[in-house]
Amino acid sequence: LVNQKSSDIQTQLNVQQADLQAINTYKDVLKKPIILSDVLKQLREKDNYQGNLEDLQSSLNITNETNSQVVTVTAKAENPYIAKDIANMVGEVFTNKIKKLMQVNNVTIVSDARLNTTPVSPNRKLIIIVGTILGLFIGIIIGLIKELTNTKISDMSYLTDELGLTNLGTVYHIDNKNKALRVVNIITGKTENSSHNRV
């Protein structure tokens, strides 16, 4: 909480506006090495943290609601206990250091970080739903492409009834390698191939 106390109402309003403007600076300072280097040192001593300064910076998310004097520090880590310690240590180190850095005494921790043992990433339910929808969509697209690009003729009635061609004869050929009977139909001087299982 960024808040300076004043007994005068008009002065309090001016101070509140100044605090709101200072929050953007504080949000930036919270992720700077001047704060995080001390946090990193404490984490290595307490939790045997293996990450570096960049890992610590990327694990932090600093947020502030519009016109709110409260800044929220959220930390993500593979171990929920380390994430809790990161958030708490950042708050503690910042409140101690900001007094010397900016000669102010207007930052107070209003609540400690709470432990969240439920993983926030990856969202397995969302991944399964998206994967299923994407799989169905891709399957339908592949099926349509195969159907539209299929030029094989599977039924002789299509040639004779729909295209009006005349069947001149049928030639049977046994393929010993594939154990299948190949039927070659001769239609109006053209040769068409279709495969049938051997009986």
pLDDT of the residue at 193: 47
Q: Where are the domains of the chain?
A: 9-102, 120-150, 156-197
- Tell me how far apart the alpha carbons of residues 53 and 176 are, in angstroms, rounded to a whole number: 70
Residue 189 is predicted with a pLDDT of: 43
Which pLDDT value is given to residue 134? 95
pLDDT, tens digit, for every residue of 41-63? 999 898 888 888 898 999 999 88
pLDDT computed for residue 139 by the predictor: 94
Distance CA 159, CA 187 (A): 8
> In the chain, which stretches have pLDDT less than 70?
3-16, 173-199
